[in-house]
């Protein structure tokens, strides 16, 4: 999952970046509100962490401009101010949560996961697609309670597909999710990752196909066809 951190204090920024990287989150940072707005418009983030005391503009103004620009990315405000007025103002401008500094790493990570799950329509940390279970907190995948071993990139792709199940994702969206515009390889690498991911899921599910190709557009995760499942059960029962 991709997080944009807008924080001007270098020590705080580095500390938060280390916290989130340790939790297997991809973190992108800026110390300016204006740049944060531009990045949020250009790239697809799962969450924005926003400090209120920025050098070029107030964090509330950053929040206001993002919502006026119809940027719907969830926003968690980080602030040393614990007063009710600041919190109400933040929520009034469209913030999803407010966390007062200093905070514990576990609380920050837990809030981030909870906000992202809610924004994708998932109240729990486990997303089920057919027999596949993706645990967003543990970063694990299971089929019928048995672990499926994926590489980091394969997991990130399945996580993105699961969070947006039923939605066609372009190769550009996968590249942006995996590399964030930094040293991106060619688009065909996505086909390679998808091929390997399909093989592992097919092996674990005895041949079920969960990832469909949408020709000319990209890939989409769906529940396998019921007919396929019924035929397989009949074949197993016949033996």
Tens-place pLDDT, residues 13-50: 999 999 888 887 889 999 999 999 999 999 889 999 99
* pLDDT bracket for residue 157 (50, 70, 90): very high
* pLDDT(237) > 60: no
Question: Among residues 87, 119, 151, which one ends one of the domains?
Answer: 119
CATH number at residue 21: 3.40.50.2300
What is d(CA 76, CA 112) in angstroms, rounded to the nearest whole number? 8
Residues 153 and 190 in one domain: yes
CB 4 within 8 A of CB 47: yes
Question: Among residues 90, 119, 148, which one ends one of the domains?
Answer: 119
Provide CB contacts within 8 A for 133, sequence distance 6+. 126, 127, 141, 142, 143, 145
Residue 173's pLDDT is 85
Domain count, the chain: 2
Greatest Cα pair distance, the chain, in angstroms, is 71
Residues 224 and 151 in one domain: yes
Residues 34 and 67 in one domain: yes
* Domain containing residue 98: 2-119
- 3-class DSSP string for 197-224: HHHHHHHHCCCCCCEEEECCCEEEECCC
pLDDT above 90 covers a percentage of the chain that reads 53
Residue 229's pLDDT is 46
Residue 64's pLDDT is 94
* pLDDT bracket for residue 181 (50, 70, 90): low
Neighbours of 76 (CB within 10 A): 21
- How far is residue 27 from each of residues 14, 22, 114, 142, measured CA to CA in Å? 10, 11, 17, 26
Residues 47 and 90 in one domain: yes
Residues 88 and 188 in one domain: no
Q: Is the pLDDT higher at 130 or at 237?
A: 130
**Which of 21-25, 83-87, 139-143, 152-156 is predicted with the least confidence, judged by mean pLDDT?**
21-25
Residues 136 and 230 in one domain: yes
CATH number at residue 206: 1.10.10.10
Question: Among residues 119, 145, 165, which one ends one of the domains?
Answer: 119
* pLDDT(188) > 50: yes
Q: What is the pLDDT of residues 199-229, one digit of tens each?
A: 999 999 998 899 999 998 999 999 887 654 4
pLDDT above 70 covers a percentage of the chain that reads 91
Residues 24 and 61 in one domain: yes
Question: Which residues is 77 bridged to in the sheet?
Answer: 50, 98
Q: How many CA atoms lie within 13 Å of 73's alpha carbon, on the beta-carbon side? A: 30
Residues 76 and 163 in one domain: no
Residues 65 and 149 in one domain: no
Residues 113 and 31 in one domain: yes
199's tokens: 């093989």
Residue 182's pLDDT is 63
């Amino acid at each position: 999952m991709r997080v944009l951190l807008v924080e001007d204090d270098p020590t705080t920024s580095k500390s938060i970046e280390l916290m989130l990287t340790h939790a297997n989150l991809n973190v992108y940072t800026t110390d300016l509100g204006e740049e944060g707005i531009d990045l949020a418009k250009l790239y697809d983030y799962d969450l924005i962490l926003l400090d209120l005391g920025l050098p070029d503009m107030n964090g509330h103004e950053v929040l206001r401009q993002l919502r006026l620009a119809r940027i719907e990315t969830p926003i968690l405000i980080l602030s040393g101010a614990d007063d009710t007025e600041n919190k109400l103002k933040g929520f009034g401008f469209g913030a999803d949560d407010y966390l007062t500094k200093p905070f514990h790493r576990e609380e920050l990570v837990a809030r981030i996961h909870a906000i992202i799950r809610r924004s994708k329509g998932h109240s729990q940390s486990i997303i089920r697609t057919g027999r596949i279970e993706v645990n967003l907190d543990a970063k694990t995948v299971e089929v019928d309670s048995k672990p499926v071993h994926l590489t980091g990139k394969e997991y990130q792709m399945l996580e993105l597909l699961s969070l947006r199940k039923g939605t066609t994702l372009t190769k550009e969206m996968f590249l942006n999710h995996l590399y964030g515009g930094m040293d991106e390889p060619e688009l065909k690498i996505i086909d390679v990752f998808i091929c390997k991911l399909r093989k592992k899921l097919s092996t674990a599910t005895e041949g079920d196909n969960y990832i469909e190709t949408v020709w000319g557009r990209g890939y989409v995760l769906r529940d396998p066809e019921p007919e396929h499942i019924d035929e397989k059960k009949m074949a197993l029962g016949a033996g």
